[in-house]
Amino acid sequence: MMARGLDANGAARVYILGRREKTLQSAASKAINGTIIPIVADVTSKDSLAAAAARISAESGHVDVVIANAGATSPGTYPPGSSPSNPPTIEALAEYMWSADISAFTNVAHVAVTGTYYTAAAFLPLLIKANSKANRSNPPIHPQIIATSSVASFNRTPAATLAYAAAKAGLNHLMKSLSTLLAPYGIRANVIAPGFYLSELATGAFKKIGIQGDGTQEGDFPYALVPAKRAGSEEDMVGVTLFLCGRSGAYVNGTIILSDGGRLGIQQGTY
């Protein structure tokens, strides 16, 4: 959604990184202006990130925005057959928690937090070059790193998995720290925290609550899950992205923008 939105609204080049070439090519093929360029890369590999940054440096010389968007999910919170309204026994909960591999748990933070940290490190030299672009506007729109966190990072109701919520909360703080660390260099750091948006990663969650299609029509979701009674749409996500990347958001630094249709407002949260 973000890449298509940037392509449709004037970006010169939109590089998308991921491990699966076919998925990247499929996303690139939907760009109406043809500016989306796939690069096969793994954000948990320094070699892979360095190779991607070297290629982009050779082709573009700088980057205005880096979006650290990779995400992974984790072992579920509730054993099969149980839920917040039908809680498991403490023994069943302990057995279920113990059964997951440690690597499955840590991979979630590995992608969200470690991956974002090294993505930032790999692209800082290209971000700083955006500040010296000859045609920069006045006042300038400083380059930035945007990370995709989640409403789950604030949600104390364990609707998402515990590993996911903890990883995204860690990501929020990493980004706030980066905002402070990088401010003297004229590089910003901001966060988008989405609620329900249909995607490959979210398909399971949509199915579990019985949502057909992309859920973006008012009434598709019950108020008890999302006060807006629908999932986020492509326009919703592109709007937030363009705000942060463009003139309107140029004064925004160190912020977390929730785009959740009001979901957090009706859940126990720590926002």
Interacting span for ligand NAP (CB under 6 A) from 3-11, 94-102, 189-197, 217-225: 189-197
Binders of ligand NAP among residues 53 to 72 (CB under 6 A) are 69-72
Q: Is the Cβ of residue 40 or residue 92 nearer to ligand NAP in the bound state? A: 40
| Plot region of 119 (φ>0 → left; ψ -120 to 50 → alpha; else → beta) | alpha
Q: What is the C-alpha radius of gyration for the chain, rounded to an integer number of angstroms?
A: 19
Among the options 15, 118, 164, 197, which is catalytic? 164
Tell me the window of 40-48, 97-105, 130-138, 181-189 that interacts with ligand NAP (CB under 6 A).
40-48
Is 168 tagged catalytic? yes
Assess whether 259 carries a catalytic annotation.
no
Asked if 253 contacts 179 with a C-beta cutoff of 8 angstroms, the reply is: yes
Residue 157: count of CB within 10 angstroms of its CB = 13
Q: Which of 14, 28, 67, 111 binds ligand NAP (CB under 6 A)?
A: 111
Residue 5, interface with ligand NAP (CB under 6 A)?
no
Q: Is 164 among the catalytic positions?
A: yes
Q: For residue 161, state whether it binds ligand NAP (rule: CB under 6 A).
A: no
Kindly state whether residue 44 participates in binding ligand NAP, applying the rule CB under 6 A: yes
Q: Which member of 116, 148, 190, 241 binds ligand NAP (CB under 6 A)?
A: 148
Beta bridge partners of 67: 146
Q: Is 148 helix (H, G, I), strand (E, B) or coil?
A: strand
In whole angstroms, what is the distance from residue 87 CA to residue 211 CA? 23
- DSSP secondary structure letter of residue 116: H
DSSP state of 247: G
- 1 contacts 192 by C-beta, under 8 angstroms: no
Where does this chain bind ligand NAP (CB under 6 A)? Answer: 17-20, 23, 42-44, 69-72, 111, 115, 148, 150, 194, 196-197, 199-202
